[in-house]
Amino acid sequence: MGVRCDFPGLVTPDGKRWHYLDTAATAQKPQAVINAMSRALGEDYATVHRGVYARSADMTVAYEAARKRTAEFLGAKSENEIVFVRGATEGINLVAHSWGLANLKAGDRIMLSQLEHHSNIVPWQMVAERVGAEIDVCPLTEDGLIDLDWLEANLTEQHAIVALAHVSNVLGSVLGAKRAAKAAHAVGAKLLLDGCQSAPRMRLNMAELDCDFFVFSGHKIYGPTGIGVLWAREELLDAMPPYQGGGSMIDKVTFEQTTYAPPPQRFEAGTPMITEAIALHAAIDYTTQFGMESLYAHENGLVRQAREVLSQINSIRLFGPESSAGILSFTMEGVHPHDLGTILDEENVAIRAGHHCCQPLMDYLGVPATARASFGLYSDESDIDALLRGIERTQRIFG
């Protein structure tokens, strides 16, 4: 998209082009986000919500404007549906511990899928163990999509929640979210979507997706670390008990009894991530200026090209569907993904190698790890060329 110059992180220390193919782990930051963060930490800095002085009132306006912008980005009904959390991981933990502990009981079932990130598995296991609920795992189709035929056939009225990745961080596969929502709601279950990999590359509208909970992380959408978003239907948030206690989340505190603030404040105990929220606002403005549909098409096109090029190499095994959202996993016969990653690094190509926090998916694929190339709005064909050159060099080294 010709925007590399907006990203100071995309050059090597000696001024060369850095072929950054690890955007699914974390995205590089545009100067607009760095500037917003720097201003918020510098000349604009003050706390929010409590100050009686003008700077604090201005900061509160900026912090709440970030919430409003996030609501708009998600097509939410109201900014009251936006809870700022530390990241997607905290968002899922919040839902599992607040909604989960209040609503799940012994004998209930939780439906996950084979491709979930550990952060959409472990919180549910922790809560299931406490209440005596059981976890079911939806299998994948041959090309790595969550198998919705299986899901529809196997959801029962015992299922209280279905929690699925909107886009897989390993395979790039895109969930048929509306169909999953319909299937979940047909048995009276809630649907949580892990939107970590969809928020940076897909147009989102909560009403259209028809989910009940949606989480994403700021750092994957070109914003800072330390901020994420939990969206939930207002009536669900209203009925949920607090996740953490402390300042800012209360209505009235006495030693005898404490009453709580309404959402979203009820779920934002302590001094919030003020500067991070303001920088997230800048990140959403920056990212959406290109049109989310265009971003999806751009990255989908790059994955197609990468698949085409890599499929010519006999020793390479590709995973995931033909059409995916900006993420491609592969293995190379006789070469551990970590060795490949190290050689590529010498060529200024950064990929991810490992289990990508998806050990159950690795077991299912029958590999200990994969190499993963993931694209962002700043990626282009030259990154694929560099990847190919590095792979060819690896082939020569390993004979």
Residue 43 beta carbon to ligand PMP: minimum distance, rounded to whole angstroms:
29
Tell me the H-state helices in the chain. Answer: 31-41, 54-74, 88-94, 101-103, 122-131, 148-154, 177-186, 206-209, 234-239, 274-288, 292-310, 337-346, 359-365, 381-398
| Residue tagged active-site, from 196, 211, 357, 358 | 357
Residue 356 beta carbon to ligand PMP: minimum distance, rounded to whole angstroms:
7
Query: Residue 261: exposed, middle, or buried by beta-carbon count in 10 A (0-12, 13-18, 19+)?
Result: middle
Q: What is the DSSP letter of 48?
A: S
Residue 372 beta carbon to ligand PMP: minimum distance, rounded to whole angstroms:
11
How many Å apart are CA 233 and CA 78, to the nearest integer? 9
> By C-beta, is 86 or 393 nearer to ligand PMP?
86
**Contact positions vs ligand PMP (CB under 6 A):** 25, 87-89, 117, 119-120, 165, 169, 194, 196-197, 217, 357
Residue 196 is a catalytic residue = no
Contacts of 207 (CB under 8 A, 6+ apart): 75, 77
CB atoms near residue 4 (< 10 Å): 17
Residue 197 beta carbon to ligand PMP: minimum distance, rounded to whole angstroms:
5
> By C-beta, is 166 or 343 nearer to ligand PMP?
166
CB atoms near residue 184 (< 10 Å): 26
> By C-beta, is 11 or 292 nearer to ligand PMP?
292
Which letter, b or e, does each residue of 138-170 get, where b requires 16 or more Cβ atoms within 10 Å of its Cβ? bebeeebbbbbeebeebbeebbbbbbbbbbbbb
Residue 87 beta carbon to ligand PMP: minimum distance, rounded to whole angstroms:
3
Helices vs. strands in the chain: H and E counts, helices first? 14, 15
Residue 220 beta carbon to ligand PMP: minimum distance, rounded to whole angstroms:
6
Residue 165 beta carbon to ligand PMP: minimum distance, rounded to whole angstroms:
5
* Beta strands per DSSP E along 132-227: 134-138, 159-165, 190-194, 213-217
Helix axes 292-310, 274-288, angle to 10 degrees: 80
How many Å apart are CA 130 and CA 247, to the nearest integer? 27
> By C-beta, is 196 or 209 nearer to ligand PMP?
196
Give the chain's end-to-end CA distance (angstroms, integer).
Answer: 37
CB atoms near residue 183 (< 10 Å): 22
**Residues acting as catalytic residues:** 357
